[in-house]
Amino acid sequence: MAAAPPRAAMPTPDPAAPRRVRVWDPLVRAFHWTVAAGVIANLTFLREAKSTHINVGYVVLAALAVRLVWGVIAHGHARFASFVPGPSRFLAYVGAMLGRREPRYLGHNPAGAAMIVLLLILLAVIGASGWMMGLDAFWGVAWVEELHETAANVLIGAVALHVIGAIAESLRHHENLPLAMITGYKRAASGTDSDNAPASGRG
């Protein structure tokens, strides 16, 4: 009777490998990429496609409404209270960043959080003014159209800064932030890192 072939050894986990934790939940990730796709489409090839532009705008506005509610009732890093900074914390972080002493944050750092708040406000203004432009009461009203156009142009600049910031932080802390917004996982906090939602679920 032939001897059974030896079983392949199970791979041993590398103790030096950094532990990964879930930071961004599925709703946050879905919101991020839905809005990113909608904004890029409406500011480029759908800018003059009126009916499609409007429908995509409503999708973005609905996603924004869901995210605002989720930011209040969610736990962990999705909750606004876990990352929206006050003026003193924001200024302290900017000062540390200018001196290249800023800690790595597991969730949004104060500068990134301030940008998130600005982006949410701009999306709300664009969505609301776009909706108003379709109403009889505001049809052809110049200030509504100018508000919509101006907010959209400011959004382009804000998004550019957001992307530059994400790339800079990825390089600074050796972590792929765009990939983390796809997978939901980041390197666990260690050393001087700051976990601004330590009670959030891990998985």
Query: What is the Cα–Cα distance from 85 to 54, expressed in whole angstroms?
Result: 33
Q: Which residues contact 138 (CB under 8 A, 6 or more apart)?
A: 132, 144
**pLDDT tens-digit profile of 100-124?**
899 999 999 999 999 999 999 999 9
Task: Determine the pLDDT at residue 67.
Answer: 97
Task: Determine the pLDDT at residue 196.
Answer: 82
Closest CA to 128 of 78, 64, 70, 187: 64
Does residue 144 lie in a domain region?
Answer: yes
Does residue 6 lie in a domain region?
Answer: no
Task: Determine the pLDDT at residue 58.
Answer: 96
Does residue 76 lie in a domain region?
Answer: yes
Q: Which residues contact 72 (CB under 8 A, 6 or more apart)?
A: 79, 80
Does residue 125 lie in a domain region?
Answer: yes
Task: Determine the pLDDT at residue 48.
Answer: 87
* Cα three-residue angle 84-86-89, rounded to 5 degrees: 100
Query: What is the Cα–Cα distance from 128 to 76, expressed in whole angstroms?
Result: 29
Report the domain count for the chain: 1
Amino acid at 88: S
Residue in the structure block whose two tokens are 């003193």: 88
**pLDDT tens-digit profile of 26-38?**
999 999 999 999 9
Does residue 98 lie in a domain region?
Answer: yes
Collapsing DSSP to helix, strand or coil, 16 comes out as: coil
Helix axes 142-173, 110-133, angle to 10 degrees: 160
Does residue 188 lie in a domain region?
Answer: no
Does residue 79 lie in a domain region?
Answer: yes
Q: Which residues contact 123 (CB under 8 A, 6 or more apart)?
A: 35, 39, 60, 61, 64, 155
CATH (domain of 166): 1.20.950.20
Task: Give every residue of the chain whose pLDDT is below 70, as ranges.
Answer: 1-18, 198-203
Question: By the 8 A CB rule, do 185 and 191 touch?
Answer: no
Question: By the 8 A CB rule, do 111 and 94 touch?
Answer: yes
Collapsing DSSP to helix, strand or coil, 194 comes out as: strand
Does residue 88 lie in a domain region?
Answer: yes
Task: Determine the pLDDT at residue 92.
Answer: 95
Q: Which domain holds residue 25?
A: 21-183
